[in-house]
Amino acid sequence: MTSIGLGHYLVVSAALFCIGLFGVVTRRSLLVIYMSLELMLNAANLALVAMSRFNGNLDGQIMVFFTITVAAAEVSVGLAMIVALCRKRRSAHVEDLTTLKL
């Protein structure tokens, strides 16, 4: 049998989440920030599937199914907002979006 356990998958998931977080914090283009958000969601999905597999419970996979659907809806709405923003401001750069700044 294989020696890969739950911990291996969780380490990969944590590393992926941290990579996504780093992208969200450092990158300045709205689209790349969105892609990093997708990475973080994927990391959570991986952790859920691994938990589901190693605990013998199917609920985690159902949860991932729902997460993927919600993520697809979220991406479509978010990208529509970015397009609307770009039409108004001519920029998809977070440093140019300072309307809420005092």
CA 28 – CA 51 distance, rounded (Å): 34
Helix (H, G, I), strand (E, B) or coil at 92: coil
Q: How far is the CB of 102 from another protein (least distance, A)?
A: 20
Q: What amino acid is encoded at 30 in this protein?
A: L
Query: Between 15 and 97, whose beta carbon lies closer to another protein?
Result: 15
Least Å distance, CB 67 to another protein, is 10
- Minimal distance, residue 100 CB to another protein, in Å: 18
Kindly report the CA angle at 78 between 27 and 23, in degrees rounded to 5?
Answer: 20
